[in-house]
Amino acid sequence: MSDPISALPNTAVAEAYRDLVQPGARELGTVVGRSVRAILAPVRGMLWSLEQAQDYLQRRVTERLSNNDPEAFQQPPASLLTTALSGIAVCGEEELRNLYAELVTSSINGQRAHPAFANLIRDLSADEARILGMLKARGVFHAIELKDVRDAPHSRPVNFWTLLEQIELLEAKADVLEYVENLTRLGLLGSIRQSDSNRDFAPALDSMELSAIANLSIGSELVTRMTSYVDSDGVTRGGILDSIQYHLTVFGRAFVNACVEVANDTAASLLDDLAEKHASEHTKPGKTPWDRL
């Protein structure tokens, strides 16, 4: 393709065009370049060398095993150690580094860990690690979701509510649905669902926590008898509500036991207190939001 500037018939015009356009282009490139460098600058401080990662891992594991008998220590698989070291070097978040360190600690201590655990940590966010810490203490949490009746049960929810957004646990509270979907995708999280259409056949869930979600986030009238919603285009659609209990799977429990050092009792207690405080007075154990009317 020919240079459009060279194609101009008058050399003086061509030179004037170059003088007019090129400084602006150079300036734009400089501004964009500075902006991109500023955006990427924090990465330099986050990335560690393998030596730094090894120092961190050695310090953390030594602290954790200081009261254990070295004669009982086991040699972790080389694949686990190399994945943990490289993960610690690049992840940049203390919550994830802790998962790697605890996994190595568990392996040295003779606890069997699935070979997938080390690689699985790479697919977690720091907030998801915090949710797993809460689940180690509490075991379950509940949610209410709204789906379009035309696409249920396979569509993503139109709306999704839990009590996790109401406590100081997560940095990105708006991303709870994505966290739940990722933890489910990884096989760590399972669920029991009870929808408005099958409530007579599904097991009853924790009505106190569900009632608190309804009262805090949605409005109890809406959650108990919702049959429609208005979408972003102002069109009224049919809606289906599901109440859901999320829990660790067997695989998820094994992962948490191997990789999560400390159960987050504080977050678990905050959820319990919030559920008790905001649940409807007439909520009965073993009932669901639809049974309250």
The answer, yes or no, to whether residue 50 has pLDDT greater than 90, is: no
Over residues 144-150, the mean pLDDT reads 76
Bigger pLDDT: 194 or 149? 194
Residue 160 to residues 8, 15, 169, 241, 277, Cα–Cα distance (Å): 60, 60, 17, 10, 21
Residue 119 to residues 100, 113, 122, 141, Cα–Cα distance (Å): 10, 12, 6, 26
The answer, yes or no, to whether residue 238 has pLDDT greater than 70, is: no
Return the CATH class of domain 126-292.
Answer: alpha beta
190 contacts: CB under 8 Å, gap ≥ 6:
184, 246, 247, 248, 249, 252
- Portion of the chain with pLDDT greater than 90, in percent: 44
Q: Please, are residues 271 and 167 in contact by the beta-carbon 8 Å criterion?
A: yes
**pTM score:** 0.75
Task: Measure the CA–CA gap between 240 and 157, rounded to whole angstroms.
Answer: 10
pLDDT value of position 109: 92
Residue 4 to residues 7, 64, 152, 234, Cα–Cα distance (Å): 5, 68, 55, 49
Q: pLDDT tens digits, residue range 13-44?
A: 455 445 555 555 555 567 666 665 666 555 56
The answer, yes or no, to whether residue 150 has pLDDT greater than 80, is: no
Q: Please, are residues 146 and 177 in contact by the beta-carbon 8 Å criterion?
A: no
What's the whole-number average pLDDT of the chain?
78
Q: Please, are residues 132 and 188 in contact by the beta-carbon 8 Å criterion?
A: yes
Q: pLDDT tens digits, residue range 152-190?
A: 556 777 788 899 988 889 999 889 999 999 999 999 999
Tokens of 240: 């289906």
- Portion of the chain with pLDDT greater than 70, in percent: 66
pLDDT value of position 231: 65
Task: Measure the CA–CA gap between 272 and 282, rounded to whole angstroms.
Answer: 17
